[in-house]
Amino acid sequence: MTRFADFHARSIHDRDAFWAEQAQRVDWKVPPQQICDYSHPPFAKWFVGGETNLCHNAVDRHLQDRAEQAALIFVSTETDQEKTYTYRELHAEVQRMAAILQDLGVVKGDRVLIYMPMIAEAAFAMLACVRLGAIHSVVFGGFASHSLASRIEDASPKVIISADAGSRGGKAVAYKPLLDEGIRLSAHKPDKVLMVDRHLVAFTPVAGRDVDYASARAQHMDTIVPCVWVESTHPSYTLYTSGTTGKPKGVQRDTGGYTVALASSIPLIYQSQPGDTFFCTSDIGWVVGHSYIIYAPLIGGMATIMYEGLPTRPDGGIWWSLVEKYKVNVMFSAPTAIRVLKKQDPALLSKYDLSSLKALFLAGEPLDEPTAKWISEGLNGKAIIDNYWQTETGWPILTICNGVEKAPSKFGSPGKAVYGYNVKLVDDQTGEELTGANQKGVLTIEGPLPPGNLQTIWRDDQRFVNTYWKTVPGKLVYSTFDWAVRDEDGYFFILGRTDDVINVAGHRLGTREIEESISSHPNIAEVAVVGVADQLKGQVAMAFAIVKDSSGLLDAASRLKLEGEVMKVVDSQLGAVARPSRVLFVSALPKTRSGKLLRRAIQAVAEGRDPGDLTTMDDPAALQQIVDLIQI
Ligand code: ATP
Ligand code: MG
């Protein structure tokens, strides 16, 4: 087996040869003439001169060897539907969708906005767009009109594809009124809206604009729509970041680089092979859903499960029952989902036959040790592999590449820099590289960013350069805006976001470190720590915690007692300087729709300021609780 260190070094020092080899994992109509053009940093062009098609690589090319194999398994516990599409059937559905889009005037380079629940038609829609060279912009189905309107304006789509409704916890959530309002609020109007009618909620189509998918599909049962070959650098899609730290950024992705990056990740990171079954529990509205529900598993010739529903309905065993039923080999989820399951009966984990499962990958947020341990034990010691990445990168920056060389995971660490990523820790003040063990710095990536990473911010090259590449003094490097340390073995530990560092009387503390410490108290289920302005100390830490068992917390005295206990834990682990000035108990924490803690909003209200852009927030009541607590 190759040594990972050599493999990684080659990807950086012999970059073009390395990626030329990886590029052979995908089909090219015209092979690339140049592997990487980095003549205009920080803009990197990958596989220049090559022509390919993402849909061809995900669907068509498998028809020869695996036409009758499962490709897409749609499971909805919301509508009690289950349907498996073979590669042959998926190919037919994608062509039907593509034919409809063609009828609606969509050609290469046009934008198509997809505002849909987790149904098979959403996958057809994404694949049909890239088949035609159209650029999709998927907007998470939970977003309301205001967020939707700003994304419609930014993408200026010719066509929007939507549905009458999503469903959550068995209740229909109407999309159509939100969509109509979103279009009304937007300065840009789409020519057409293609409506998938699930018959969950009645709606009135807008005459001349809305097109019914079922009737349009019936016209195209046998229509053949060839893939449109596009340049490797042709954009495949745009997608927004989660908006955890501010206004979301519209990431633009290429075609060739993305296809190669995903194709390589399947064997090298996810240790999967054609014919395997992949179950990623994310949503197509997020980058993990784009890469690991739709594109990568299909590029890899696998079956992918697309799940609509909650992880706890009908009960907390639903995901494991799917692992048993579909013999899932690899699962991919998020720490936030595992924390939800942790509150369920642990017996649900041993009820099903999970012998097919090789590994569980988790991404999106720090994987705290108690959660990692809980799931690792629950899954009988199966590999739990943390992935650290961003919407911007499209695939992991840090993880353990067990497909290159087997290596142990360390709790609390996502692992090492992935091949292709020239990761450097730097001092944010001086820009100096930190090479020693356990030095805390900003995690940066030296250009060119590897294939699959963002090309730019959609329609805003300047914002791309200024946001990501201008923050480290004296250096043109990509900043992730996350703090990290690297241990003696080269394993990185993410300490939190650069704007989550607080300064208490001259001591710089990561809020995440304090959160980790508080979480180790046996009665704390989840906690958010923010820095709050303080006249004396500059800033002080303030903690908002959810308890596991609140039965003993009914009066102020018992709350104070627990607060004191938590403070003692922090004192003993990190020192009194990190001790939060208050530990307040809440029943929920404000999060983005993708499940990330909205620390900036908590911080703002804790300081009595306006919380700013909240369009990606999930549950406003959670923030209101904090507003109320602060006012007491
Ligand atoms: P925005 O950029 O709009 O503020 P966001 O950064 O939350 O939002 P995403 O691209 O969805 O948007 O999230 C990427 C971020 O999530 C990373 O920069 C990091 O802070 C965090 N993250 C992702 N995976 C991990 C992980 N495995 N461990 C720790 N943090 C992670
Ligand atoms: Mg970010």
Reported as a single tens digit per residue, the pLDDT across 560-606 is: 999 999 999 999 888 888 999 999 999 999 998 888 899 989 999 99
Q: Which atom of ligand 1 is nearest to the CA of 245?
A: 4
Q: Which atom of ligand 1 is nearest to the CA of 392?
A: 10
Ligand 2 centroid vs 299 CA: distance in angstroms?
26
Q: Domain boundary at 446, 461, 491, which?
A: 446
* 491 belongs to a structural domain: no
Q: Domain boundary at 405, 424, 446, which?
A: 446
Task: Please give the radius of gyration of the chain, using alpha carbons only, rounded to the nearest integer.
Answer: 24
pLDDT band at 305 (very low <50, low <70, confident <90, very high): very high
What pLDDT, on a 0 to 100 scale, did the predictor assign at position 34? 98
Residues 422, 525: one domain?
no
- Cβ atoms of 463 and 407 within 8 Å: the answer is no
Q: What is the full DSSP assignment across 36-105?
A: EEEEETTEEEEEET-EE-HHHHHTGGGHHHHTTSEEEEEEETTTTEEEEEEHHHHHHHHHHHHHHHHHTT
Angle at 420 between CA 416 and CA 423, to 5 degrees: 50
What pLDDT, on a 0 to 100 scale, did the predictor assign at position 342? 87
d(CA 53, CA 49): 13
* 368 belongs to a structural domain: no
Q: Which atom of ligand 1 is nearest to the CA of 398?
A: 27
* 367 belongs to a structural domain: no
- Cβ atoms of 417 and 424 within 8 Å: the answer is no
Q: What's the whole-number mean pLDDT along residues 344-370?
A: 91
Ligand 2 centroid vs 196 CA: distance in angstroms?
32
**Probe ligand 1: pick from 596, 600, 603, 617, max atoms within 8 Å of CB?**
596
Token pair of 405 as six digits: 């060389």
pLDDT band at 227 (very low <50, low <70, confident <90, very high): very high
Q: Ligand 1 pocket, 245 CB below 6 A?
A: yes
Residues 561, 424: one domain?
no
Residues 70, 199: one domain?
yes
Please state, as a whole number, how many other Cβ atoms lie within 10 Å of the Cβ of residue 620. Answer: 10
Ligand 1 centroid vs 179 CA: distance in angstroms?
28
From 11-25, 215-229, 264-278, 483-497, the region with the lowest mean pLDDT: 483-497
Q: What's the whole-number mean pLDDT along residues 47-70?
A: 98
Convert the pLDDT of each residue in 368-395 to its tens digit.
888 898 999 999 989 999 999 999 999 9
Extract the runs of DSSP E, i.e. beta strands, from 334-428.
359-363, 383-387, 398-399, 416-417, 422-426
Closest to 217 (Cα-Cα) out of 100, 85, 83 = 100
Closest to 342 (Cα-Cα) out of 309, 367, 378 = 378
The amino acid that residue 237 corresponds to is Y
Residues 442, 555: one domain?
no
Residue 529 has pLDDT above 90, yes or no: yes
* 316 belongs to a structural domain: no
d(CA 42, CA 437): 28
**Probe ligand 1: pick from 241, 361, 512, 600, max atoms within 8 Å of CB?**
241
For the chain, give the percent of residues with pLDDT over 70: 100
Convert the pLDDT of each residue in 241-288 to its tens digit.
888 777 788 999 999 999 999 999 999 999 999 999 999 999 999 999
Residues 420, 564: one domain?
no
* Residue whose CA lies nearest to ligand 1 atom number 13: 390
Extract the runs of DSSP E, i.e. beta strands, from 453-575.
456-457, 477-486, 492-497, 501-504, 507-510, 524-534, 538-547
Ligand 1 centroid vs 236 CA: distance in angstroms?
22
* 464 belongs to a structural domain: no
Residues 406, 555: one domain?
no
Residues 18, 121: one domain?
yes
Ligand 2 centroid vs 355 CA: distance in angstroms?
36
pLDDT band at 546 (very low <50, low <70, confident <90, very high): very high
Q: Ligand 1 pocket, 244 CB below 6 A?
A: yes
Q: pTM score, two decimals?
A: 0.92
* 371 belongs to a structural domain: no
What average pLDDT is seen over the chain? 94
Q: Among the bound ligands, name the one nearest to the CA of residue 392.
A: 1
Residue 502 has pLDDT above 70, yes or no: yes
Q: Ligand 1 pocket, 290 CB below 6 A?
A: no
Structural domain including 572 reads: 501-631
At 596, which CATH number?
3.30.300.30
Q: Among the bound ligands, name the one nearest to the CA of residue 497.
A: 1
- Cβ atoms of 451 and 19 within 8 Å: the answer is yes
Judged on CB neighbours under 10 Å (0-12, 13-18, 19+), 474 is exposed
Q: Ligand 1 pocket, 241 CB below 6 A?
A: yes
At 77, which CATH number?
3.40.50.12780
What is residue 426's three-state secondary structure?
Answer: strand
Q: Ligand 1 pocket, 243 CB below 6 A?
A: yes
* 258 belongs to a structural domain: yes
DSSP letter at 376?
A: H
Q: Which residues contact 291 (CB under 8 A, 6 or more apart)?
A: 262, 394, 395
Number of domains forming the structure of the chain: 2
What is residue 396's three-state secondary structure?
Answer: coil
Q: Distance from first CA to last CA of the chain, Å, rounded?
A: 61
Which of the two residues, 485 and 552, has the higher pLDDT score? 485
Ligand 1 centroid vs 389 CA: distance in angstroms?
7
* 533 belongs to a structural domain: yes
Residues 407, 534: one domain?
no
Residues 116, 204: one domain?
yes
DSSP bridge pairs for 597: 591
Q: Which residues contact 578 (CB under 8 A, 6 or more apart)?
A: 504, 507, 509, 513, 514, 517, 541, 570
Residues making up the chain, counted from first to last: 632
Residues 204, 293: one domain?
yes
Residues 510, 430: one domain?
no
Q: Ligand 1 pocket, 399 CB below 6 A?
A: no
Exposure string over 334-354, b if 16+ CB within 10 A, otherwise e = bbbbbbebbeeeeebbeebeb
Ligand 1 centroid vs 390 CA: distance in angstroms?
5
Which of the two residues, 632 and 615, has the higher pLDDT score? 615
For the chain, give the percent of residues with pLDDT over 90: 81
Residues 147, 31: one domain?
yes
Ligand 2 centroid vs 245 CA: distance in angstroms?
7
